[in-house]
Structure 1
């Protein structure tokens, strides 16, 4: 799941959170690998002052990109923010250190319900950070009569001004949901149907994209996008011409988590940052800034009512019942890779 930019903070984020090489490390520097604009810059500055340290954040645009880099030997990070299904893969590869709960007293604030949506239910190697959804958003001034359905991507009046995720699990998953199937299906016939549907959608979209859809939607370059709820919350807050719709067939529910790599240079500082983000006041401020719901019982008591009423934050129960968490598929992931390659190759 991801987690991207608040438009009016782009310059500040570029200065404060710019990615840097991880070849050298200061003794008191916390190196984080995260989705873009996924923690308030003000809170990062506060943590640095309170702990007399520096925080450096590198960013990734998909779980698979992050996993490949770490698997290939991308060392030096102290804290990473993968989605739950990728936590399972990383744990099975022996990439993760155990969470020392004695260093994270604010674990008591984690909502137990969130733990039912993750692989690591005992928080042995990971701690829930946010809950989010992959939904759709559109320009009200340029696209009329939008049905809250994944079928909207079949509209020929999109005129190549729409985007879908450049993420096989999310995009194939959206097609599977429209067809009435599980987004975690292992059935090759169902996957073939989803492939053909995405190829149909492909004829109407500008591109597959994980990042530019936000600015493109804001400017009007794109009139319909598949995006993450928090990202779209941020764009809609800035631009009243943007509306969010929750597809009636159901959506993917993502829980991003905080993990400490096994060979992290600064594990103690990483634990401090986890504990800091779980503080109720910090969590509330962070939620209001980034537009994602943190499963923090005490923090949720401190956010505004408007925040909780936003459709990007709290989806209807009827749709939530049809929604699913993306699962780690093991060997069956190859079926999705094959289908995705066929989608990308199709004209």
Structure 2
């Protein structure tokens, strides 16, 4: 009997995970360990030869088979070119995308190490080199199936997702509607040209970069898309004052331009991209709320304090869009 409103991931029990992986001829030693992943379900496991793997079970109905396969082909292209990425394992038939119990899934080599330190100039230079190598390869071709980042559409859908629910009280609803509309208007004046879009990682934050010393690997290309090159750089600019931000940017671009020229005009898109990420994050949380993992992991989303803070951040971002001082 199927339970009403049961989320598909509820059926992904350890025994089914092991059965799916062992159907590929890889014998699992011990129980898979769930990692902190919410959009998909990701597990670390060891095989009978003590090799560690990462198994990713993709969220149903998020990406098409063609989009998932295009991600994997992209990773193989990067790996062949010498870019440090975690490319998917392929079976004897050369297939990297597998299916079991209604889920697409893939296996990736486990990448050991820690996230880079963004106050370390050597790490920033190395990260710039890594992204430069990535873009030197990714700029050769375009995606056919993966999405193109469309800032106005993303902002509009984010606004609609938040306002469609009962997350905001009357005061918050008025404030959110006002500031989100203002942000949309600002973004409408800062849309990048189509020719600026290349294949990018798309979600290049510290959690997706692992390594030791200054030797780093990019993991989790789940959000790869067509977007400006700066999308893979701006999240590494984390300093709290203008002079330190400029130093971070200098190291990052010095490494990047060892492999790929960077159009400084794209720096104007950093605050628009930050705006999109801020709006999308809250919209993502509410859109995924029926997944039981989300209320458990993010209980504060249901509080008034969270939405008051979110509205304040969006107000600050509106000012930053009008006056990105550190770039002056």
Bigger-Rg structure (1/2):
2
TM over 0.5: no
With the length of structure 2 as denominator, give the TM-score of the two structures: 0.28
Scaled by the length of structure 1, what TM-score is found?
A: 0.27
Which has more helix, going by share of residues? 2
